[in-house]
Amino acid sequence: MSALTLRGVTARYGSRAVARDVDVEVPAGSWLAIIGPNGAGKSTLLKAIVGVVDHDGEVLLSGRPTAALGARERARAIAYSPQTPQLPDRLTVTDYVLLGRTPHLAPLARERRSDMEIVEQVLGRLDLSSLAGRTLHTLSGGERQRTVLARVLAQQAGLLLLDEPTTGLDIGHAQALLELVDRLRTEEGATVVSTLHDLTLSAQYADHLLLLDDGEVVASGTPEQVLTRPVIERHYAAAVEVLTTDNGNLVVTPTRKPRP
């Protein structure tokens, strides 16, 4: 069964529709990347799925409409990290990751020992144990992104919505982070929906791409089906070449005419 199904979803701020009439099925354990030029509505669509932006149409989690779920119940099923997460400066890594346990706690209750054990496991898994007591403003960019991912994982939701998880990371750190997400997906059966700027990385990590342009789905399918030169040139207004490396990796690279 599909972990996530969107049926005619239109995400809107008030009366302004930002992403329109999106249909997609995301099988359990797969990775969907939402791609598209700036302002296409990628982030807004994610926010509609997580329920912080209003939407028309139906969002189904394993066949159940999210509209029927309470806020905390939904938060136990969907974890979300925004494009620019706010990390309160002087909070410790442990305190921040512990916030991921919020949907598992009654509103005014304090955390249990089992919550701390989950936090500890997640920190160990993301190689953050040595930073547990550090305050957030002392972390490097890569450490910050991993800490945010730890907060998402502590939520123990089956569906991870990651809005540009590699923002601000160099190519090595970006790769490491995506490998980590991919491992969680294969080892724990998590389903991933992410927006990604980098088309090459999205081709290498996602099973399915959804290309949005100005709020409309203009292409949907495997990376090979979506990332073709005419499609990219039309919707990104970019000059590109799409190559396949010897080991079968798809690479999208910008091209430039030689100067006369």
Partner 1 sequence: MPATSHGTAKPAVAPTRLRPAVLVVAVLGLVAVVSVSTLLGAANLGWTRVVAEVWAQITGGRSPLSATEAAIVWEIRLPRVILAGLVGAALAMAGAAFQGVFRNPLADPFLLGAAAGAGMAATIVVVAAPSVTGWIIGPLPLAAFAGAIGGVTLTWLLGRSAGGGTAVLLLAGVAVASFLTAIQTFVQQLNTDTIKQVYSWMLGGLNTTGWREVLVTLPYITLAGAVLCLCARLLDVLAVGDDEAASLGINPGRVRIVVLLAASLATAAAVAVSGLIGFVGIVVPHAVRLLAGASYRVVVPLSLLGGAMFLIVADHIARTAFAPAEVPIGVITAFTGAPFFLLVMRMNRGQIR
Chain residues binding partner 1 by CB under 8 A are 47, 50-52, 70-76, 78-82, 85-92, 94-96, 98-100, 102-103, 105, 107-108, 110-111, 113, 116-117, 119-120, 123, 129, 132-133, 135, 155
Say if CB 155 and CB 80 are below 8 A apart: no
Least Cβ distance, residue 235 to partner 1 (angstroms): 27
Select 194 or 199, whichever has its Cβ closest to partner 1: 194
User: What does each C-alpha distance from 15 to 8, 54, 66, 81 come to in angstroms?
Assistant: 16, 10, 21, 25
C-alpha distances out from residue 94 to 13, 51, 97, 168, 193, Å:
34, 26, 5, 23, 26
DSSP 135: B
Of 94 and 202, the one with the shorter C-beta distance to partner 1 is 94
CB closer to partner 1, 27 vs 82? 82
Of residues 157 and 180, the one with the C-beta less far from partner 1: 157
**In angstroms, what is the minimal distance from the CB of 220 to partner 1?**
25
Rounded-to-integer distance, Cα 65 and Cα 28, Å: 16
- Evaluate whether 190 touches 159 at the Cβ level (below 8 Å): yes
For residue 77, the SS3 value is helix
In the complex, least distance from residue 54 CB atom to partner 1, rounded to whole angstroms: 12
Tell the smallest beta-carbon distance from residue 88 to partner 1 (Å). 4
